[in-house]
Structure 1
Amino acid sequence: MKWQGRRGSRNIEDRRRMSGGTAGIGGVGLLVILAIGYFAGIDVTPILDEVTGTQGGGEVTEADDRAAQFVSVTLADTEEVWAGIFDRQVDGAYAPPTLVLYKGVTRSACGGASGATGPFYCPGDRKIYLDTAFFTTMERQLGAGGDFAAAYVVAHEVAHSVQDQLGILGEANRVRAQVSAAQSNEISVRIELQADCFSGIWARQAEAQFGSLERGDIAEAMNAAKQIGDDTLQRNAGRVPMPHTFTHGTSEQRQRWFATGYETGDLNACDTFATDRL
């Protein structure tokens, strides 16, 4: 992905020198705790605090700074792309979210944020939260390396902001609060797969507008979608996949919906709530 030397976003809130660290967790231990938060959709910051203690002012490395610059450029790309999509396909203007960069632990209107919870969009304050160390976790522990794999993650969280602005996320979460856990998980899967599809739309338009994609970039995104599928994550954590606990979709589903967005560029093609075949 061609990103160096390009415009960055102004919608970045940098808390990396204000938040705590998570030193002392081994690679396998971090993956297990990450899986707990990912599968259950819970704040596992207290678990990290108990295991490692919270350190104030974690060291910001050169790799962290490079990741921050990359995120800023990618976020700027999403802002331009979605502004154009809203002009063409939506009756209304696009309002870009703020992205909070942090190191270790921070707080959001949705609760605690940590490297173990992974990147997420919080509807309560309409901000995206991302620990710059997560990209290292993706590459080394989840097998999803590459610049465009990281861009896919940013685009996926921005897609949740798009869902929020379109009224989709609020309605889906309202229904989730009124149904059983299994039904809530099913709705969550539809939310996440639609965000994957929206990410594919972004990738298609970024390629057309900026010429920023390089050979192999889409393959990186597809591999990332595969590696963070619920079934793959559960197998890699030593568990038998249990579909009723899935909250994000299988590897095959995540890849297919990303591809749908990339191939069509059409928001209507991403209606995961109106199909019986996820």
Structure 2
Amino acid sequence: MPKQSTRKTALVTGANSGMGLATTVELLKKDYHVVMLCRNEHRGEEALQKAKQESRRDHVDLMLCDLGSLESIRQFADRFNRRFLKLDALINNAGVVTTKRTTTTDGFEGMLGINHLGHFLLTNLLLNTIKRSKDGRIVTVSSGAHKVGKIHFEDPHLKKRFNVIRGYSQSKLANILFTVQLDERLEGTNVKANSVHPGAVSTSLGVSRESGFGKTIHAMLRPFFLTPAEGADTAVYLATAPDLTISGEYFYKRKVEPHSKRAQDQELAEKLWHWSEKEVGI
């Protein structure tokens, strides 16, 4: 049986930069033991040192996982569940925006594959460990872009009609529908699941790592954006607030935010859940 300290434990996906790193730092300051889930070892190690420096805490670990690979997610979940007795907060923060159609290792359209399906599988594989917490929290970062989103069941991986808005908004709507259905399935447990709109945050999201495309535009707009720490505030609040009683909702600036009719559609949420189970092989 794994051993664990008396500290609460949090797992943050996409923790190597932007809101993920800011979330890590804030959780460390609140005395959580934080596991930083990152895809790239070099960038992850740099972020780990930065998190320690900014928080002046060292109860933080780096674990590697590629959310674009079902096999990598399963291997990670197995390692995590063997190592930790319980998980108090899972922050599904990692996200990608691609202007050209990309695919994951398993052939999923990149944004749907990583932003939704990767987190869907990860959450399900860690669920029993989260349920061992006296007050488990699952926070999934969505976006206001969900309001123009639609789940394209006829072509979910956008093989025929891809564009960035169509793909990104679909993945962000999926984040909320996932939370809605997850909340239904968690009824009677100690776990609360909510989604969050972080606002317009200055991060590297949308900047191509390969070509650098988007850097100039991002630099020009940066003064008008929230900082990563400001964007992370509501996610940290939902993960840690001791008096939180709300579950299954969509938050912005620590308050429940109205969301689209599609995002509130229970039948659509259930349909997406069953489709997602088949896609990831649960």
- Judge same fold: TM > 0.5, yes or no: no
Q: Please, what TM-score do these two structures have when normalized by structure 2?
A: 0.31
Q: Please, what TM-score do these two structures have when normalized by structure 1?
A: 0.31
